[in-house]
Each structure stands twice: as structure tokens, then as C-alpha cells.
């Protein structure tokens, strides 16, 4: 008798009790049919998103950050070294990834926000497609960008950590981001409320913050699903290292702030005047004195970001241990991704919201049973994830998907994958090739203004915009033509 899946609650799940005679009869039938009582389900999927996570991990060659669990996950699977988000902002990036669509072309993601109607009705999100094909789908934490998520995609309502409205401590704290009372001594007005500092180091357990609670809920779901007769798609959305950079004190203590290397190009790129990034840190949080140029501010901010990443790394380790302890390790695909890049002082920028490489490039790790130790250098982008998972679980790839499955390069690591990637933000559009990143801006009359070209072979840090250099004229013309034909001539 199959185990019925019970929606998550704080109570113990119901147990199904079978009479001894019925058990004996069932075993005899299985033996007679040459069957085994062991379950053989399609692969499960643990789908981990980490907000604002750039490829600042040990497995990406950054030795000063402490991320042993994500590094272990990379060794047990594949790390995609040149992976890009299709939009450098949370909501639209998630909408693009989960629909398999670029933010230009067949569909425009409404307002670059991930609403439940983020795409046209005929374009099903990845979890909705899996649900319709036998998967039990669960969403914990921040997966889509808004509170109501995408109800039709999930087998049970999307789950969020509960809020604490203790006005004596958290009166400034809309989402309970701050748990240390001392943070309430450093506030700034924000609309009709007050907001706290952009960082916090509280002497608390992992579960004091929302991400720790999301981890507990996800582990409970792993235990619950281990008893089910259905494969699962379990989405776990962590908020850190998104602002505010709040993490338990023990993760801050992993680092000596004075030994953290700062960006060595804290100046504007040559020949580029209209560069900007998110003003979120300046506008929405307190205690940001020195933003964006003061060296002490750079040291504090990077220390805070690193502590937040190490905090999430510890939670990822707990999830991986739960898979192992519940016998799911060998039949579960694990995907971990950051939704876009993030500036940590490069060009004196903090955050995202521009078409620079640092805003667009993001980590992607996939643990696929039987494949380990892969370090893949091919150009990949997040619209590739949808078709990849379809192929891995032996489902047809929907016709609307604009990505290309990564399965081929996982099976054959020397194969080519794509010669170009396409990204968008607002009215700006970019094409990324192995050597170049070119960006153009659409004007009100739907013509284009050419903005920037970076030669990543000669200038990987993007310190010189070579758009006006006559030596690159043919490159600009070629890239502009390919960008336009791909995104706007369909």
C-alpha cells in the first residue's frame, strides 16, 4: 500500500498500519511476479537558490572565503565556471530561469517581476511542468520573488518563515531581518517606518534568522518525502547573502577583516560615463557611512557578505546530510544557483542592476548521480536549467524553452555548448561570447544606442570600454547584428 503524502504540519505525519496477514500476502505476490519491494522512482530534485550569490566560492578559485559544503557539492557533481543569469535582478532572473525564457523575444516578463502571471499562460514554469508529470512539488523560502509565489506550480502552498512582531525589539523590522536588540539603536527613516543597519552579527543559533528556519522546514520535507511513493521537486530559497548582511556571530568570527582582499579596481572604467549599480544599500539601510568609496566601508561590507555566505554554506551542508541520512543521496539531483551576480566594491559599485560581468555572472552547481569532479568552462546561462532537468528525469522538453540542455556537456565535458548568451535589464540588452561582452540600449523610438564593449581576453576586470576603438568596429557590428536578430526578429 503506497504511503500517502501529507501536507507539512507541525504534527507527526500519519502512519499507515498494515495487518500481518496482508503484509505476507503482498510479499508473496511480489515474489511470484519477480518483483522487489524496493522503490524505483524517477530522480528527485533538490533545487537550492541563494539570493545575490556571486561566484565567490572556494570551488570558483576564491581561497579567502570559507564554503566547504558548497565546495564539496561541486566536487561531487559539476561546477559551471562560466554561468550567467539572464537578468541582473532577483525577480526577473527567477522568472526567466523558471520559465526557460529570455526576457525578450517570445515573452516579456511583466515589469521584470516574478508574479504568478509572469509569463503567458501557455508557458508553464518548471515546477508546474514537473507537477503535471508526477512530481510532488514544494516551495520553501524565497523561490519566486513575491509572497504568493506561483500557486499552480506547487502541490501544497508555498511556505514562508513565520514573522515575529515584538514591537519592543523589532519595531523597525518588517521581515524580522534583525534579531539583535542593539541593531535598534542604529536606525534611519524609510517612508513611514524605520529600517535597521545593513549588517548584523548576533550571538544566536542558525535558526534565529529566516534562512535557518527555511533549512529546518526543508529537512522536515526531506524526511517526509523519503516515505512517499512519488518523486519530489523540493525548492529551497535562501535569502542571504541578500541585504541586510545579517548572520550569526560565529560565521563572522571565521574571518579576520584586515586579511580580506578588497577589489583592486575601485575606480570608474575608462570611456564609460553612465555606469551605475543598485542603490539599495545606501537607500534602504542604516549604518552605511562611507558608502561607496571609503576603505573601511569596503572592508566591513565584504566581511559582512562573506559571513552571510558562510552561514548559507553551513545550511547547505545540513541539507546534504539530510539527504544522506534519509537514503535519498543516490537518487536525488541537486541544483544550487545564485540568481545573479553582485558587486563587492569593483568600480566602487555595490549590488547589481547593471550589465557588467560582475552583475551577470553567477554560480551554478549540479550534482547528478554518477557524475563527479566536473569543472566545465563552456558558456552557459540559467535558461538552460529547465531543459536540463527535463532531460535528466526523462521528460520531453517543452517547445517554449529557449535554453539548451546541459546534459550533453555533463556526459561529454569537451563538447561545445553555446557560442553566445543573451541578457537584458530594463531597456539594455547584452550579448556575451567567450571573449566579449557587448551592450546596447533601446531608445523610445525602438532604435538602439551602443553603450559598451569589453574585451574579456585582454581586460577581464572590465576597466576599459573599447566601444569607440576603431580596431573593434567589426566586432561591434557583428555582435550588434547577432544580438538584434536573436532577441527581436523572432
Residues designated as active site? 90, 145
Answer whether 402's CB lies under 8 Å from 444's CB. no
Number of other CB atoms surrounding residue 309 within 10 Å = 26
Question: Based on the number of CB atoms within 10 Å of its own CB, is 346 exposed (0-12), middle (13-18) or buried (19 or more)?
Answer: buried
The conformation of residue 26, written as its DSSP 8-state character, comes to H
CA distance 78 to 335: 10
CA distance 116 to 103: 16
Cβ-based neighbours of 31, under 8 Å, separated by 6 or more: none
Answer whether 353's CB lies under 8 Å from 88's CB. yes
Question: Based on the number of CB atoms within 10 Å of its own CB, is 16 exposed (0-12), middle (13-18) or buried (19 or more)?
Answer: exposed
**What residue ranges in 90-131 does DSSP mark as E strands?**
none
CA distance 390 to 394: 6
CA distance 206 to 214: 10
Whose CA is closest to 90, among 61, 127, 118, 123? 118
Residues 173-197 as b or e (16 or more Cβ within 10 Å = b): beebbbbbeebbeebeeeeeeebbb
CA distance 67 to 241: 13
Largest CA distance in the chain: 85
Number of other CB atoms surrounding residue 116 within 10 Å = 14
Taking the mean position of all CA atoms in its chain, how far away is CA 24? 48
The conformation of residue 210, written as its DSSP 8-state character, comes to H
Helices (H), 180-294: 210-225, 249-252, 280-284
Amino acid at each position: 500500500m503506497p504511503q500517502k503524502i501529507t501536507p507539512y504540519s507541525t504534527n507527526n505525519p500519519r502512519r499507515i498500519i498494515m495487518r500481518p496477514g496482508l503484509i505476507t500476502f503482498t510479499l508473496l505476490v511480489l515474489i511470484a511476479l519477480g518483483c522487489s519491494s524496493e522503490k524505483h522512482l524517477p530522480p528527485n530534485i533538490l533545487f537550492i537558490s541563494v539570493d545575490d550569490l556571486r561566484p565567490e566560492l572556494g570551488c570558483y578559485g576564491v581561497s579567502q572565503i570559507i564554503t566547504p559544503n558548497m565546495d564539496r557539492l561541486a566536487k561531487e557533481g559539476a561546477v559551471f565556471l562560466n554561468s550567467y543569469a539572464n537578468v541582473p535582478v532577483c525577480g526577473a532572473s527567477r522568472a526567466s530561469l523558471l520559465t526557460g525564457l529570455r526576457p525578450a523575444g517570445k515573452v516579456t516578463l511583466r515589469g521584470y517581476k516574478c508574479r504568478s502571471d509572469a509569463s503567458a499562460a501557455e508557458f508553464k514554469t518548471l515546477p508546474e511542468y514537473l507537477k503535471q508529470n508526477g512530481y510532488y512539488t514544494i516551495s520553501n523560502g524565497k523561490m519566486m520573488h513575491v509572497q504568493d509565489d506561483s500557486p499552480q506550480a506547487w502541490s501544497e502552498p508555498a511556505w514562508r518563515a513565520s514573522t515575529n512582531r515584538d514591537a519592543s525589539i523589532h519595531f523597525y523590522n518588517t521581515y524580522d531581518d534583525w534579531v539583535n536588540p542593539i541593531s535598534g539603536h542604529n536606525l534611519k527613516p524609510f517612508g513611514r517606518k524605520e529600517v535597521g543597519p545593513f549588517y548584523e552579527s548576533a550571538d544566536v543559533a542558525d535558526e534565529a534568522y529566516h534562512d535557518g528556519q527555511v533549512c529546518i522546514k526543508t529537512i522536515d520535507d526531506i524526511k517526509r518525502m523519503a516515505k512517499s511513493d512519488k518523486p519530489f521537486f523540493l525548492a529551497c530559497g535562501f535569502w542571504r547573502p541578500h541585504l541586510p548582511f545579517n548572520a550569526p556571530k560565529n560565521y563572522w568570527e571565521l574571518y579576520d577583516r584586515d586579511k580580506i582582499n578588497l577589489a583592486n579596481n575601485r575606480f570608474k572604467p575608462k570611456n564609460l560615463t553612465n555606469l551605475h549599480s543598485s542603490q539599495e544599500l545606501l537607500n534602504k539601510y542604516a549604518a552605511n557611512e562611507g558608502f561607496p568609496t571609503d576603505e573601511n566601508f569596503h572592508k566591513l561590507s565584504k566581511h559582512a557578505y562573506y559571513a552571510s555566505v558562510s552561514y548559507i554554506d553551513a545550511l547547505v551542508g545540513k541539507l546534504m546530510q539530510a539527504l544522506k541520512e534519509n537514503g535519498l543521496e543516490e537518487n536525488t539531483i541537486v541544483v544550487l544557483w545564485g540568481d545573479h551576480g553582485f558587486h563587492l566594491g569593483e568600480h566602487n559599485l555595490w549590488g547589481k542592476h547593471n550589465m557588467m560581468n560582475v552583475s551577470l555572472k553567477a554560480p551554478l552547481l549540479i550534482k547528478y548521480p554518477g557524475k563527479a569532479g566536473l569543472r566545465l568552462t563552456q558558456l552557459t546561462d540559467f535558461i538552460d536549467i529547465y531543459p536540463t532537468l527535463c532531460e535528466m528525469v526523462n521528460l520531453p522538453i517543452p517547445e517554449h524553452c529557449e535554453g539548451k540542455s546541459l546534459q550533453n556537456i555533463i556526459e561529454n565535458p569537451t563538447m561545445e555548448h553555446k557560442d553566445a548568451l543573451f541578457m537584458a535589464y530594463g531597456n539594455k540588452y547584452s550579448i556575451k561570447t567567450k571573449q566579449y561582452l557587448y551592450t546596447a540600449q533601446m531608445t523610445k523610438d525602438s532604435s538602439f544606442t551602443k553603450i559598451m564593449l569589453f574585451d574579456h581576453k585582454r581586460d577581464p576586470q572590465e576597466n576599459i570600454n573599447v566601444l569607440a576603438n576603431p580596431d573593434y568596429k567589426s566586432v561591434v557590428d557583428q555582435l550588434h547584428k547577432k544580438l538584434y536578430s536573436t532577441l527581436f526578429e523572432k
